[in-house]
Amino acid sequence: MTGRILKLATSRKSVRKFSAKQAPMDDILYALDVARQAPSGANEQPWRFIIVTDPDLKKRIRDASERAERVLYENVKGDFREWLLSHGLSNEKPFLEEAPILVAVLMVASAQYARESLWVAVGHFLLALEERGLSTIVYTPSNPNLPLAELDSPQGFKLEVILPVGYSDDDTPKEPKKDLDEIAFLNRWGEKLTLSEGGSAAYP
Amino acid sequence: MTGRILKLATSRKSVRKFSAKQAPMDDILYALDVARQAPSGANEQPWRFIIVTDPDLKKRIRDASERAERVLYENVKGDFREWLLSHGLSNEKPFLEEAPILVAVLMVASAQYARESLWVAVGHFLLALEERGLSTIVYTPSNPNLPLAELDSPQGFKLEVILPVGYSDDDTPKEPKKDLDEIAFLNRWGEKLTLSEGGSAAYP
């Protein structure tokens, strides 16, 4: 016996190509309803979500994001550059226009543990989307201020992430994950867990 | 019809009092198996987990954490102070000894989007624990270096959070959450969504 959450987490992968099929707004609201249940520092719930369906606004968000990406790609070095190139990534982010819905996640910058809390909510959101059969990519703009300027938010909010949501049209396999015994130890750094074959946990 | 994930996210609450009942190691491994499936910047998987069951080590982690908490409570001001006091919180963290298992989550500090990625994995972990009937509190030490010193980790790792895991013996209700239409907008900041009564999303 395994669990439903593990099935969803395992099947979930990052998707950069979306089909033209409209994503149901009810499913987006469902996933946001899940996200808002996440714990947060001093229960400040430092997350705000802007659901973007307007094609013109999506285009402006894409253009603003790509302006910053061009700077990143001119300057990136080392392992991160290798990773980007090996994955065929570039400063072009068509998924910001092609996904039927973008969810921009803004942070109340002054809240206690704002960033940590917001990303727990993102972790909830991703699993809820997967449950509804929808896909996304966690897109962190290289200069969040540029797309943020298109969203007319008040002072005191930062743009943390844009989640383009839709149905997958992306055959790229899920990125491989480290085995559990490479990342988890018992009582002391480096002290191995006892696991079943395949590097996964053995649980009833 | 609602969904399984929403049920888990909604029933989940932060717990500071744990029963003496042992938490099954298999359930901890299950939740870590879920966490490791989370996406991460450049797939660096910048999370490491130390599962602490040794009572002596738990006590040392508690003592180190409380040394830092005393400093926090002497200096905290404003809304955060009010929130802490109104919730009966203090510099004492007995749950770090009383929970049968602690999961310390360490971050590869140099990884791309390390903090964001790690907290997505924490968001996955919390829902997986709930599925297994286990509870936790997201404990962010006020000075992570003090408990980190008890864990013998190599250079380059930061302690982000300690998750004490066990069965709840805590009657405190879940913190109230903002309605969805307070935190989510359509296409423009402040542009209200249409929701059903109760502030929740209406989905089939």
Is B126 in the same domain as B189? no
- Identify whether residues A8 and A100 lie together within a single domain: yes
Q: Are residues B153 and B183 in the same domain?
A: no
Q: Supply the mean pLDDT for chain B.
A: 94
Q: What mean pLDDT value characterizes chain A?
A: 94
Give tens-digit pLDDT for A131-171: 999 999 999 999 999 999 999 999 999 999 999 999 999 99
The yes-or-no verdict on residue B1 having pLDDT over 60 is no
Q: Find the helix packing angle between A114-131 and A25-35, rounded to 10°.
A: 140
SS (HEC) of B100-167: CEEEEEEEECCCCCHHHHHHHHHHHHHHHHHHCCCEECCECCCCCHHHHCCCCCCCCEEEEEEEEEEC
Q: Looking at residue B16, which CATH number applies to its domain?
A: 3.40.109.10
How confident is residue B103, by pLDDT bands cut at 50, 70 and 90?
very high
Least CA distance to B157: which residue of chain A?
Answer: A189
Q: Do residue A66 and residue A133 come from a single domain?
A: yes
pLDDT at A193: 87
Q: Are residues A60 and A98 in the same domain?
A: yes
Per CB-CB distance under 8 Å, the chain B contacts of A129 are none
Looking at the fold, whether B179 and B148 belong to one and the same domain comes out as no
A152 and A191 assigned to the same domain? no
Number of structural domains in chain A: 2
Helical pair B25-35 and B114-131, crossing angle rounded to 10 deg? 140
A109 touches chain B (CB under 8 A): no
Using an 8 Å CB-CB cutoff, list chain B residues near A168. Answer: none
Q: What pTM did the predictor assign?
A: 0.96
- Its sign, for the CA torsion A50, A54, A55, A57, is negative
Q: Is the same domain home to B163 and B185?
A: no
Instruction: Please state the ipTM of this predicted complex.
Output: 0.96
Question: A189 is in which domain, residue-wise?
Answer: 175-204
Verify that B49 and B117 share a domain, yes or no.
Answer: yes
* Res B204 pLDDT > 80: no
Q: Are residues B154 and B183 in the same domain?
A: no
Q: How far, in Å, CA of B186 to CA of A98, rounded? A: 18
- Residue A204 pLDDT greater than 70, yes or no: no
Q: Are residues B202 and B129 in the same domain?
A: no
Query: Is residue A31 predicted with pLDDT exceeding 90?
Result: yes
Spatial distance between the Cα atoms of B122 and B179, rounded to a whole number of angstroms? 23
Give the pLDDT confidence score for residue A197 in this predicted structure: 57
Nearest residue, CB atoms, A6 vs list B30, B175, B193? B30
pLDDT, one tens digit per residue, over A73-95 is: 999 999 999 999 999 999 999 99
* Least confident window among A120-124, B68-72, B146-150, B193-197: B193-197
Q: Mark whether A153 and A190 lie in a shared domain.
A: no
Closest-CA distance, A199 to chain B, in angstroms, reads: 10
